[in-house]
Amino acid sequence: GAGVSQSPSNKVTEKGKDVELRCDPISGHTALYWYRQSLGQGLEFLIYFQGNSAPDKSGLPSDRFSAERTGGSVSTLTIQRTQQEDSAVYLCASSPQGLGAETQYFGPGTRLLVL
Amino acid sequence: SQKIEQNSEALNIQEGKTATLTCNYTNYSPAYLQWYRQDPGRGPVFLLLIRENEKEKRKERLKVTFDTTLKQSLFHITASQPADSATYLCALPGSNDYKLSFGAGTTVTVRA
């Protein structure tokens, strides 16, 4: 079936604007993850969903960041009042059950540039 | 949380040679370790998983070792090809099993 998809692929916004990033996981995968990757850096964990619940939001950098998941499927990451330091690639991944040692399947990412 | 270090940001090798990448971690030894490949403009793609009770794992031209005493994993690409050029990431679970911590990656360039 189809892999993980993300939209938009690129987003340029002005400082202070809000942005919404979308993730469509692999159908049937209950676990969904958001990561952030800055230039030359490793992936930074942001949030984990199990179904529609987010038991781990520990990686969200500030209260400007929020995420939701509906219908156990699509997830939206929202960044309010964007800052230049929010510029990065935002990656979404899904896995079948969120159990240990599962492969995480990544989307292509959304490249966010805050001017 | 784990601190993960991957050797040298870039590795340039001649086609046909073996590339060896290192992943070192500092805290507790994880139950498993994963390696991913990331191409420019793409998301990471899973390659191999090795468990703490496994010394070595192979997949085609790839070989991974896991030494819990040294707190190190080695990733080998044998008979390298230009198509192997990419960034390779190691990932370890944290105290919560689902949550992976990733290294910054090593970029491999294979010259024809």
**Average pLDDT estimate for A25-54:** 92
* pLDDT at B1 (0 to 100): 66
The residues near A62 (Cβ < 8 Å, ≥ 6 apart) are none
**Rg of chain A over CA atoms, in angstroms?**
13
Which residues of chain A lie closer than 8 angstroms to B46, CB-CB? 103-105
A 46-85 near B (Cβ less than 8 A) = 48, 56
How far does Cα B19 stand from its chain's mean position? 11
**Average pLDDT estimate for A77-83:** 98
Token couple for A111: 């490249």
Query: Is the pLDDT higher at B26 or at A24?
Result: A24
- Which residue on chain A is closest to B4 by alpha carbon? A42
* pLDDT (tens digit per residue) in B16-48: 999 999 999 988 788 899 999 999 999 999 999
Residue A69: pLDDT above 60?
Answer: yes
> Would you call A4 and B49 a contact, using CB atoms and an 8 Å cutoff?
no
Which site among B36, B92, B98, B107 would you substitute to test the A interface, given the most A Cβ atoms closer than 10 Å to its Cβ?
A: B98
Nearest-by-Cβ selection for A48 from B9, B41, B99? B99
**Average pLDDT estimate for A82-100:** 94
Q: Is A93 on the interface with B (CB under 8 A)?
A: yes
Which residues of chain A lie closer than 8 angstroms to B96, CB-CB? 56
The residues near B19 (Cβ < 8 Å, ≥ 6 apart) are B11, B13, B76, B77, B80, B84, B108, B110
Q: Is A112 on the interface with B (CB under 8 A)?
A: no
Q: Whose structure tokens read 């500092």?
A: B26
DSSP letter at A84 equals G
Residues of chain A above pLDDT 90, percent: 83
Average pLDDT of every residue of chain A: 94
Per-residue pLDDT tens listing for chain B (112 residues): 678 999 877 999 999 999 999 999 988 788 899 999 999 999 999 999 999 999 899 999 999 999 999 999 999 999 999 999 999 999 998 877 778 899 999 999 999 9
Nearest-by-Cβ selection for B96 from A42, A56, A101? A56
E-strand ranges in chain A read 5-7, 10-13, 19-24, 31-37, 43-50, 53-56, 65-69, 75-79, 88-95, 105-106, 110-114
**A80-B105-B58-B53 Cα dihedral, nearest 10 degrees:** -80
* pLDDT at A2 (0 to 100): 85
Residue A74: pLDDT above 90?
Answer: yes
Residue A27: pLDDT above 90?
Answer: yes
Nearest-by-Cβ selection for B97 from A33, A100, A109? A100
* pLDDT at B73 (0 to 100): 96
Residue A56: pLDDT above 60?
Answer: yes
**Average pLDDT estimate for A56-79:** 94
Q: How far is CA A90 from CA A110, B1, B65, in A?
A: 5, 22, 30
